[in-house]
Amino acid sequence: MSTKRLEKIYKLKKHPDNPRVIKDVKFKMLVNSIKEFPEMLEKRPLVVNKDLVVLGGNMRLRAAQDAGLKEIWIDVADWSKQKQNEFIIKDNASFGEWNHDDLANSWDLDDLNNWGIDLPPMFDDEATVEKEETKKCDCCGK
């Protein structure tokens, strides 16, 4: 039995003890991401308890509201309070890390930046060098 479904956003409740925050530019980027690629929300639904309190996806809920969505995909988890708390923390834990060589060599740095990846300062230097190398003289065009 699937517990995934579309739900009216106004019925969902933000978790009162959500330990994650998203601010300013990053929040605007998330709102834009949802506007540009709303299909992603079906593949990565909000996780809620049976009372429709969000366990995973509080920031996506806020961003979806700002993006003007009226419905959002949810997945209902019928867990004990202990399991819910464990999920909230584990869902937001950063166990992995980016392979910066792969990012630099296989991905467009502007896309990564636009998609919300915080690149280390060394990427700023590489992008600046690349832009300087492609500059042409205004007089002769070389």
Domain ranges of the chain: 4-92, 100-133
Alpha carbon distance, N-terminus to C-terminus of the chain: 65
- How high does pLDDT run on average in the chain? 88
What whole-number percentage of the chain has pLDDT above 70? 85
What whole-number percentage of the chain has pLDDT above 90? 61
What is residue 125's predicted lDDT score, i.e. its pLDDT?
A: 54
- Considering Cα of 124, then 100, then 133, then 29, what sign does the dihedral take? negative
Residue at token pair 């867990």: 79
Phi-psi region of 78 (alpha: psi -120 to 50; beta: other; left: phi over 0): beta
**What is the C-alpha separation between 90 and 105, in angstroms, rounded?**
30
**What is the C-alpha separation between 128 and 142, in angstroms, rounded?**
19
- What's the Rg (C-alpha) of the chain? 20
What is residue 124's predicted lDDT score, i.e. its pLDDT?
A: 65
Tens of pLDDT, residues 66-125: 999 999 999 999 999 999 999 999 998 878 888 988 998 999 999 998 888 888 887 765
CATH no. of 4-92: 3.90.1530.10
Q: Give the alpha-carbon dihedral of 4, 21, 93, 46, to 10 degrees.
A: 0
pTM, two decimal places: 0.79
